[in-house]
Structure 1
Amino acid sequence: MKLQRKNRLRALSLGAVAVSGALALTACGSDDTGKDTGGKSSTSASGNSSIKCDDAKGQLQASGSSAQKNAIDAWVKQYSAACKSVQINYNPTGSGAGITAFLGGQTAFAGSDSPLKPEELAQSKKVCSGGQAIDLPMVGGPIAIGFNVPGVDSLVLDPSTIAKIFNGKITKWNDAAIAKLNPGAKLPDLKIQAFHRSDESGTTDNFTKYLIATAKSDWPYEGGKAWQAKGGQSAQGSSGLAQQVKQTSGAISYFELSYAADGIKTVDLKTGAATPAKATTENASKAIAAAQVAGTGKDLALKLNYQPTAEGAYPLTLVTYEIVCDKGNKADTLPSVKSFLTYIASEDGQGLLADAKYAPIPSEINSKVRETIAALS
């Protein structure tokens, strides 16, 4: 018996070292490691904090924002390595579809790049017995404007020019308005191929909110998850837009920065500062730090500042919310919901975001998120 106990303790020690090593190699695609908790209270070494599985078990269905998919993938990889009794299935259907599924009682939580509307909050009371849905800001980051213009490696645009491009008022890359913002650039006489989301999207909502706030006269639309401007071309999801930019000469579109991979170039935004702002997680964090909590009670919806004054602040940002019931969660999924959300809101969970090209939520806001998750029932 003593020998068995000694071997078991040695195995646990090696397991902890393996998990720590896996976390250090996350960005390099390390293998999953971790111990099966059997659904019981357990922790897994994870940097300076822990993944607490507690009584989490079974399948957890969630859907929504495609902008946060890469963050969810990174989180699920680490969480599943520690809590093998939980299977998390996240379907990046888009914010609109995700909210619809949640309000229909089909998922345990939803991801949305826009906070819930008053009518959606009211509807959620039918799903959240004795409570209502709340917005928990979990992922931040810039909405990159990707472009594919032969011979052009760097491009600066201002809100008015962006609005005119996506509204079909500027149709050629060598237009005078673009040339004025990019002196010395060899802009080709090439048709602009502007792509927008075909599905309802929180990324579209945030992109158009930026245009409404900064170039209202050139963007005469109400905004929302559905694209309203006429013309242009469309594609499904952030990944679909990124693929179109990559393969289409003259293309331009908008998507979360994590999708601007494989050589896709991104626009620098002209702001009130002396230097155009680049689409980086650091610059997005500067802008998100100026956000204010606009939700009431336990709802932590944020009001973003699209015209920040800080040097380098990238104003075209979005915040993705995890939408969950404050009360009335299903008994069979509540332990898993609390366990997973607690992890992704932890220092360790938020610490994975930068490597995935996302911006962590500012600590003063995130502390409120953690308190709210702990009180879910």
Structure 2
Amino acid sequence: MKVLRYGSVAAVLAVGALALSACGGGSTSGTSASGGAGASTASVDYSSLSGTITAGGSSAQANAQNAWTTAFTALASNVKVNYDKSQGSGGGVTNFLAKSYDFAGSDAALTADQATKAQAVCGADGAVNLPVYLDGVAIIFNVKGVDKLQLSADTIAKIFKQQIKTWDDAAIKADNPGATLPSTAITTVTRSDGSGTTQNFTNYLSQVSPSVWTDPVSNKWPVAGSSAQQGGSGVVNTVKAGDGTIGYADHSAIGTVAAASIKVGGKAVDFSADGVTKAIQASVTAAPSGAKGDLSQKIDYTKLSTGDAYPIPLISYAIACNKFTDPKQAALVKAYLGYVASDQGQKISAKNAGSAPLPTDLAAKIQESLKAIS
């Protein structure tokens, strides 16, 4: 499935049109979250807002953040939003804990240690993890003469453990009956930076293929010998430029690079936003950190062994303090993240990043958590 990628003139115009039609060019109230009525943003007078929001982190959110920023600042013309995607999730959290960011984008919620550190930055109420972006980890490949590829979880684990070294290996052939596969050597391409996408991918492998993937779940790639690249774009560009290459990236970032179908329960499942929504509904449970309003989620990938659910969903967060030292800055961040989680914000990220909309109940909980930020 190809989705409209942010960056074209058409995308910018579409974002602006959506923003203005939704909010009448000045304020909004009661926009329902995708999937039905329920979650709503508080009435916001965007024309009264001014200042700069500084944030960064998750490269998976990059296309969505570009689109959200364009749409939001079309409404709040006196606000500037700077989101630095070059940091990756790890850098985003590090800069947030160093008081450099108003919020961090991260494909993983704060760890217990990071949550404790956040209290030193934010005060006793700590920081809240808000799951604002739902997508999937794509397994991307570039093999001369191979346009389509099916891979089971065990085969993926063995490839990235470098136990499978050529594309005509028996395990890959078994996943792709009838396909002509070359003897080309496999080059695995991974992230070099602290990456929430890496953490999600290694978590998936450890759950669904534990006999093969014995390495830790980590935001740092744990297996030596891969072609390590900075950021999701670095992985995508390296896979695209090579032959025999395979890597992982947020689906919104892959562009024209081919993505493998993931075999589950004897069926090959392609990425789709609907498949991500089904995966979230089937596999996610709340795992709050203890901070007021926290909405950290836990994915059980083993529950995605049948059906049409996409097997490697990704939940990405906006991480912000529950209490800001500057009330004006708190108001800016609440307005922006409220827009991100609104029905219109989710439609914009779906159109420009191919993301899945937030379930109604989760969108409503995000709005409630934002109300408590001061």
TM-score (normalised: structure 1) = 0.87
**Corresponding residue number in structure 1 for 2:13:** 30
Does 1:299 find its partner at 2:299? Answer: no
Give the C-alpha shift of residue 316 in structure 1: 0.7
In structure 2, distance between residues paired with 1:340 and 1:133: 17
Q: Map 1:168-207 onto structure 2 (within 5 A).
A: 168-207=162-201
Match of 2:270 in 1: 278
Question: Unmatched 5+ residue regions in structure 2?
Answer: 1-7, 33-40
For residues 163-220 of structure 1, the C-alpha deviation after alignment (integer angstroms, 9 at most, x for no partner) is 1111111110000100011011110110111100010000000000000001112111
Aligned: 1:83 with 2:81:
no
State the match for 1:343 in structure 2: 339
The equivalent of 1:64 in structure 2 is: 57
Tell me the secondary structure at the aligned position of residue 132 of structure 2.
Answer: strand
The one-letter code sitting in structure 2 at the alignment partner of 1:312 is D
Q: Which amino acid aligns with 1:179?
A: K
- Cα deviation, residue 52, structure 1: 4.4
Percent identity over the alignment is 36
Tell me, in whole angstroms, the C-alpha distance in 1 between the residues paired with 2:171 and 2:45.
54
Alpha-carbon RMSD: 2.4
| 1:135 Cα deviation from its structure 2 partner | 0.4
Is residue 2:111 matched to residue 1:117?
A: yes
Separation in structure 2 between the aligned mates of residue 354 and residue 310 of structure 1, nearest angstrom: 25
- Bigger radius of gyration among the two: 1
Give 1:230 shift. 1.4
The equivalent of 2:121 in structure 1 is: 127
Conserved 8 A contact 1:44-1:82 = no
- Distance in structure 1 (CA, Å) of the matches to 2:243 and 2:317: 34
Cα distance in 1 between the residues matched to 2:119 and 2:229: 33
SS at match of 2:333: helix
Out of 155-164 and 274-283, give the one that drifted further: 274-283
Q: Residue 18 of structure 1 aligns with which residue? A: none
Alpha-carbon distance, 1:320 to partner: 0.5
- In 1, Cα distance between the equivalents of 2:19 and 2:177? 58
**Alpha-carbon offset, residue 46 of structure 1:** 12
Q: Provide the secondary structure at the position in 2 that maps to 1:126.
A: helix
Q: Secondary structure at the match of 1:125?
A: helix
Task: Say if 1:52 and 1:247 are closer, same or farther in 2 by CA, change over 3 A.
Answer: farther
Corresponding residue number in structure 2 for 1:370: 367
Which of the residues 334, 339, 348 maps onto 1:352?
Answer: 348
Structure 1 window deviating more from structure 2 (106-115 vs 215-224): it is 215-224
Offset at 1:55?
4.2
Distance 1:129 1:330, change over 3 A: farther
Structure-2 separation of matches of 1:304 and 1:56:
37
In structure 2, C-alpha distance between the alignment counterparts of 1:237 and 1:326, rounded to whole Å:
29
Q: What's the offset of the Cα at 1:258?
A: 0.9
**Worse-superposed segment, 25-34 or 198-207:** 25-34
Q: Which structure would you say has the larger RCO, counting Cα contacts within 8 Å and 6 or more residues apart?
A: 2
Native 8 Å contact 1:129 1:329 kept in 2: no
Select which of 242, 245, 254 maps to 2:236. 242
1:125-157 superposed Cα distances (whole Å, 9 cap, x missing partner):
111134201100000011001100111111111
Q: Does the residue aligned with 1:119 lie in a helix, a strand or coil? A: helix
Please list every run of at least 4 consecutive aligned residues from structure 1 whose deviation after the TM superposition is greater than 4 angstroms: 31-36, 44-52
Contact 2:287 2:295 in 1 (8 A): yes
Equivalent pair of 2:19/2:72 in contact (CA under 8 Å): no
Residue 57 of structure 1 deviates from its aligned partner by 1.4
The alignment of Structure 1 onto Structure 2 pairs a total of residues equal to 347
Please give the alpha-carbon distance, in whole angstroms, between the structure 1 residues aligned to 2:293 and 2:29. Answer: 30
Q: 2:12 corresponds to which letter in structure 1? A: G
Q: Distance in 2 between matches of 1:26 and 1:45?
A: 29
The amino acid of 2:372's aligned partner reads A
The corresponding residue for 1:324 is 320
